Structure 1
């Protein structure tokens, strides 16, 4: 008859082997998670690196094959108030063709907000401000044309300037190789700092004034 110590040694060896097998399985599972296509990190670059008004911004990047990414470009502008009103105009804003395209304008320290878009005729949208003095207008599915945009409204009492934030967003989709790209012409965009989000990645660029002829 085999001794108890011999039997215990066999059990101990089996237990160690079992733990070793589970250890290897755990490592392989972790490696699988890290190299899984669904866990691929979004990476993108924008060129030119020092753009001026009139340049075409080119965004190219990689993500998981077929992945849909939210893309957003925004800028903030401080507007002076004259006789209780604020106003800002953009002569040539291009709304690109894309999935889930949205145009959003937010103003602070105001009574109301009006947006006028013109292609063949004027399209107007208005919004009263919240009790905190914030007014927002957001529009989806705007036809992809180049528009003249006029933004105006009444400022809150005793305010010398108001903050204006303009956002344009849409959905980008990576191809079967995980690559995506997007081009945007800046001829109608004002000079200044722009924040660009693609997926969960953020970059800031400064669009410099173009050369006046």
Structure 2
């Protein structure tokens, strides 16, 4: 009889402790456990360069996670690959990070330029090279991805994921804008909360296929149809020459974008190799980050205190 009573008491104590720990875990995870009811995006058929507006609803003042992922196959030339994203805009937010994965590469370099070039590199492991960076200061960047490809490889597959944390208002509504200027035409995924949707980016209207330019990205000068060409093609060269000879007026270039691209490439020949570190944040961003850390600590201490209080009350009753 004594053993049975002791067993029942121990079982009750075990159940009570398990329940207390469960409550503690729920309290600690509740700040990041936002459940998005629904979200929509517009325009429904975006074109390269459009800004996608995302609107949805969740619980008031909840943190919402937004992930944007797209993939790109980059041709290899002379054992190397290169891919450039221009005008990549990083908005201010709770926190952010980006990840670049490369398959078919020996190594991976991610170079970011705002004022100067900074670089972060990774060696391949298990056929995959990965570079990640968090807490990127808000701003507009040029991102250059390059490296050495595996022997005998003609293409390198890149997967780029960007994350941004946003906060819903007092009614639970939230909105977010994503500039597609740096995204290549094709499929990419947007995940808001636990709801993922696939978006198809259409090629830019009226884009000149002969120029070989695609908004926000490029490949090596010796690559195929998506490469950046710094000089006119052979077919256009004769027409340009005839126009120059038949006109006494000075010829003004109608492709200023190509000039800008040549300047970008020339500045990339010897980028400064520095370890990629986040630049100092603005005061508003620092206040936001401080407030987020303070709330995390507050929830943590509240949960621990509640669990301790429950255990003390139980022990006193016992």
Matches within 5 A, 1:133-212: 133-211=127-205, 212=207
Matched, 1:73 2:62: no
- Determine helix, strand or coil for the equivalent of 2:147: strand
CA shift in 2, pair 1:103/1:68, >3 Å: same
Q: Give the SS at the match of 2:95.
A: strand
For residues 197 and 175 of structure 1, the distance between their equivalents in structure 2, rounded to whole angstroms, comes to 19
CA–CA distance in 1 between the matches of 2:102 and 2:60? 38
- Considering Cα pairs closer than 8 Å and 6+ residues apart, tell me whether 1 or 2 has the greater RCO: 1
Residue correspondence of structure 1 range 23-38 to structure 2 within 5 A: none
Aligned to 1:61: 56
Cα displacement (A) at 1:39: 9.0
Deviations 1:16-45 (A, max 9, x none): xxxxxxxxxxxxxxxxxxxxxx99652000
Residue 88 of structure 1 contacts residue 150 of structure 1 at CA under 8 Å; is this kept in 2? Answer: yes
1:187 is paired with a residue of what secondary structure? helix
CA RMSD in angstroms, aligned pairs only = 1.7
Which consecutive unaligned segments of at least 5 residues does structure 1 have?
1-37
Q: Distance in 2 between matches of 1:118 and 1:45?
A: 33
Q: Please list every run of at least 4 consecutive aligned residues from structure 1 whose deviation after the TM superposition is greater than 4 angstroms.
A: 38-41
Count of residues paired in the alignment:
175
1:144–1:39: structure 2 CA closer, same or farther, 3 Å change rule? closer
- Distance in 2 of aligned mates of 1:41 and 1:141: 24
> Is 1:86–2:90 an aligned residue pair?
no
> Take 1:198 and 1:118, find their aligned partners in 2: how far apart are those partners?
28
Match of 2:99 in 1: 104
TM-score by length of 2: 0.53
- Unaligned 5+ segments in structure 2 are 1-32, 209-318
1:99 is paired with a residue of what secondary structure? coil
1:99-124 Cα deviation digits (max 9, x unpaired) = 12101101112110001111111011
More helix per residue: 1 or 2?
A: 2
Distance (whole Å) between structure 1 residues aligned to residue 176 and residue 34 of structure 2: 23
